[in-house]
Amino acid sequence: METFSNMDLQDSVSVGLGTGAYTVIAPNENRRNQIQRIAEKELESLEKWKEQHRAKPVNLVPRRLGGSQSEAEVRQKQQLQLMQSKYQQKLKREESVRIKKEAEEANIQKMKATQREKSNKLEEKKRLQENLRREAFREHQQYKTAEFLSRLDAELPDRSTHQIALRDPQSSTWKLPVLPGNHSWARSRAYKDSLKEEENKKLQKMKEEQHQKSELLKFHQQQQEEERTKTHQAEHRRVNNVFLDRLQGKSQRSGFEHFGGHWNMNSGNSWDI
């Protein structure tokens, strides 16, 4: 078996010992010692810092806790605060429900107003179409009536002249027939006036009916609003009365239990609300 001297071993370790497929590199002793000294110094600094910043003991003067109030007074005060907090929470819930209902009601009223406006526009459109149709029919009827009257006026003078000639052939005095043009014009004028007056009456009647409907709807809305306000006030008054009655009852029971400056801790209703 082959042996090496110390010098040869140090030389081989410092340079690197090759054994087969890998090479062992010796560590740097100076670098290693320096890192160890730095670590030890940092550990000493950490221990000193911990020793300097260690929490000191707390020294307080002993005093009585709870102040000048008794346990019964404190418990009664806590009970009243708990009751008030629950009542405030209930009021907040009711207020949130009321606001939600008002928002829903406002949304419903908005939708109703939109639908009412659409229906009014549709009704107005239908009314205009009906008026246009009636106007066209009236003009057509007047045109046909005037055409018939003009044709009748054209035929009447010939018949009147022919009848007069047949009735008195020997008469020397000839009279011109009276043309009924003025009478036909008066009849057509009267007919037009009657149609126009009838249309005006119908239009006025429709306006009155629409006004009555709007007034009735407004009256119903006012009644509903008044009923809603009365109901809300009655409910609010009822809740206040219930709270005051319960508060008065709890105060009376607490007075019975708190007898002689001692609070009955075994009472089953000491924490009831």
Q: 15-63: per-residue pLDDT in tens?
A: 455 556 778 888 899 999 999 999 999 999 999 999 999 988 888 887 7
Three-state DSSP at 18 gives strand
Contact 12, 4 (CB under 8 A): yes
pLDDT of residue 161: 54
Q: 210-250: per-residue pLDDT in tens?
A: 888 888 888 888 888 889 888 988 888 888 888 888 888 77
Residue 239 lies in a domain: yes
Count of positions (residues) in the chain: 273
Is the pTM higher than 0.85? Answer: no
Query: Which residues lie across from 22 on neighbouring strands?
Result: 19
Query: Which residues lie across from 19 on neighbouring strands?
Result: 22
Number of domains present in the structure of the chain: 1
Residue 139 lies in a domain: yes
Q: 139-159: per-residue pLDDT in tens?
A: 888 888 888 888 777 776 555
Contact 262, 72 (CB under 8 A): yes
Three-state DSSP at 24 gives strand
Residue 121 lies in a domain: yes
Contact 212, 205 (CB under 8 A): no
Domain that holds residue 125: 84-164+184-254
Residue 170 lies in a domain: no
Which span out of 177-181, 240-244, 249-253 was modeled with the highest average pLDDT? 240-244
Residue 198 lies in a domain: yes
Kindly report the number of other CB atoms within 10 A of residue 144's CB atom: 10
Half-sphere exposure for 252 (CA within 13 Å, toward CB)? 6
Residue 16 lies in a domain: no
Mean pLDDT for the chain overall: 77
Strands 22-24 and 17-19, by their bridges, are antiparallel
